[in-house]
Structure 1
């Protein structure tokens, strides 16, 4: 099995170890030691303790708990010989590093252990010396253990708080980017719906009548078809220019066009009647609404649904009558229904992509309404009709 080699010491740790070792050697050669060795310990062992403590400093980041354990043994040897202040200072750094770089458990246990060690040193010193000066040993133990341990706790808490704040900032930035992308996607979908609803009607009429003009040999019918083609191409081009102008108007200087309202359905049905006469289509508008104002988003959605339904009828409906019905009871939702003959259709037919039904469903979903589209029984001779039905609430749920 592969053996995991220890990580290389951090360059700062190498500098700390080298500085402590050189400082201790300087103090040794100058004779600046802290006392006499205990019986049985040779004075040169102080240098051994110094070297071991310096070696432990190399592990202060990569293995802080191991470094602290080695440092405890080196400190015990140093105190038993001629004590060097450099060895003691490096030990305080190991205590600090064990709290700062060690696992969370070490950050809790090392300060508590330091406090317990200081209490024991104080009690033993008082019991042995039986003089008030023994308290100074307790103070020295606190400076060597408790002070660096709680300093490490404070620095670690600050570091963790900064890291948490940075992660929260990154999370907020990520959520903002996701919101921006969602907003851009929603705006692109809205633009696609508007573009489809405004232009598809004219392009469908152009496709149908151009095919008819090419396939019919009568000059009068071809002239009528070309007249319809020209009218729809001019209107479609005007709407395209208006939409492109709005998209290019980054500063908002261009006056936005008024949203279409249901009062304009008569003109929309009349235009469909002119475009669909060659295909044998008739159009009727039944407005059975109760009097009262409608919210602008509801009117726009209803208008676009009728517009797209008439476009689909021009593309696919069999000869017959297309009925547009609007209904609303007092304080009730607006119901929009468009029924067209469903069956085989002679003559030219414009291709469809299915985006119209998707756009209508999205418009209704934005208003929290109901939408259905599909063939239904016509009620006579087992004939079927294609019906688009939308129920548009006038108030949001929970707002009443």
Structure 2
């Protein structure tokens, strides 16, 4: 017999995820070493040794009563003692030890207890194929032992039944313990995976919330900050402007900065935990506040024409009206940045059941356009917002060379 023919007899092939003593690499990776036994391992091995020794002593005592010679009885005692001592190697050589004990049991009944303990260890720590092999060997040795070393007080058929039942009972008990340990390992792995998935979902939700807040901050603050940029630029390039015009521009800058701070405070308030004390939030913009937005833009020097055919803006759902407000706000902001001095037309039409449309159009600028930072992220965010609301939004160059923005939003009847 060579090692390559029976690799399952090698210690290195005995690794099992349920075995408390898995082999570890030695320094240099050229060998295997096993960790030291824990207190629990010592207790289990000691109990197994005592149990095997007790069963062996009962077998030896029965052998003496059956009239066996002193030589046979002494040989049984030696073999039984050796088998019990060999149990301390069962963690390293479980399958090989169980097979050897199966052979010795046929001629030495005192090794029966050691065989049952070794069989239990194999059933707990080894896969089904190895368990089936060892169990078959134990069953065969039990049957053979009944006829080689018979018990005069027990009928051979009953002896075979008892041997088979003992082997199957120990094997079933060990496989039950193994199944329970596998279940515990699986539940722990599932719990670990669930925790990792929950943490990942929390991170994704946090990232989505941050992106939503970032888009909201852009929608709210871009309009205010553009006003600040335009009027500050006017004061910089026209230091000789009339005092009244300078005062008006300074007032617009002050008001816009105040409004920007208020809007920023409003958005940051979303991040507060429930129960945190803070200032009361201002009402969110709706379609009813669109006129105030147009008036604010006109005060900033823009020429804005509003065509609103919605008779009662209060009947428009709040979320839809807020989206319309943000679209018009972004359109006015872009026109002020990229087409200053042109007339901007804002159109709002619709009725319940047909939806609500909003359009912002500005012609091409006639003079030089000042450079104002911008990357188009506002239009991307508005397109996404309109899509999430169940509508759509298109934007791009108009036939007259200007820029047009058009959106449709649902308005339930």
* TM-score (normalised: structure 1): 0.77
Decide whether the 8 Å contact of 1:339 with 1:388 is kept in 2.
yes
Decide whether the 8 Å contact of 1:333 with 1:394 is kept in 2.
yes
What CA distance in whole angstroms lies between the structure 2 residues aligned with 1:343 and 1:46?
110
Match of 2:397 in 1: 375
Q: 1:213 Cα shift?
A: 0.4
Decide whether the 8 Å contact of 1:286 with 1:323 is kept in 2.
yes
Inter-CA distance 69–31: structure 2 relative to 1 (3 Å threshold): closer
**239, 250, 261: which is aligned to 1:237?**
261
What CA distance in whole angstroms lies between the structure 2 residues aligned with 1:111 and 1:285?
91
The reply to whether residue 224 of structure 1 matches residue 252 of structure 2 is no
Inter-CA distance 352–20: structure 2 relative to 1 (3 Å threshold): closer
**367, 387, 390: which is aligned to 2:404?**
387
Match of 2:89 in 1: 58
- Residue correspondence of structure 1 range 201-350 to structure 2 within 5 A: 201-220=223-242, 221-245=245-269, 247-248=271-272, 250-251=274-275, 254=278, 255-275=280-300, 277=301, 281-289=302-310, 293-328=315-350, 330-343=352-365, 345-346=367-368, 348-350=370-372
What CA distance in whole angstroms lies between the structure 2 residues aligned with 1:148 and 1:344?
96
C-alpha distance after superposition, 1:130-186 (max 9, x if no partner): 997334413431354111111112212222222222233223323322232222222
Q: 1:336 Cα shift?
A: 2.2
Quick check: 167-176 or 50-59, which moved more? 50-59
What CA distance in whole angstroms lies between the structure 1 residues aligned with 2:196 and 2:331?
41
Inter-CA distance 102–222: structure 2 relative to 1 (3 Å threshold): same
What CA distance in whole angstroms lies between the structure 2 residues aligned with 1:99 and 1:30?
25
Q: 1:261 Cα shift?
A: 0.8
C-alpha distance after superposition, 1:253-297 (max 9, x if no partner): 55443221101111101111222x2xxx42112224487833322
SS class of match (1:230):
helix
Gaps of 5+ in 2: 1-28
Match of 1:381 in 2: none
Cα RMSD of the aligned pairs, angstroms, is 4.1
What CA distance in whole angstroms lies between the structure 2 residues aligned with 1:230 and 1:189?
29
The reply to whether residue 73 of structure 1 matches residue 103 of structure 2 is yes
Match of 1:198 in 2: 220
Decide whether the 8 Å contact of 1:318 with 1:343 is kept in 2.
yes
Gaps of 5+ in 1: 379-383
User: How many aligned residue pairs are there?
Assistant: 377
SS class of match (1:377):
coil
What CA distance in whole angstroms lies between the structure 2 residues aligned with 1:38 and 1:268?
114
What CA distance in whole angstroms lies between the structure 2 residues aligned with 1:101 and 1:41?
35
SS class of match (1:374):
strand
Quick check: 292-301 or 263-272, which moved more? 292-301
Inter-CA distance 315–104: structure 2 relative to 1 (3 Å threshold): farther
Decide whether the 8 Å contact of 1:335 with 1:391 is kept in 2.
yes
Q: 1:212 Cα shift?
A: 1.1
Q: 1:245 Cα shift?
A: 4.8
SS class of match (1:219):
coil
SS class of match (1:335):
strand
Inter-CA distance 229–19: structure 2 relative to 1 (3 Å threshold): closer
Q: 1:214 Cα shift?
A: 0.9
Inter-CA distance 224–348: structure 2 relative to 1 (3 Å threshold): farther
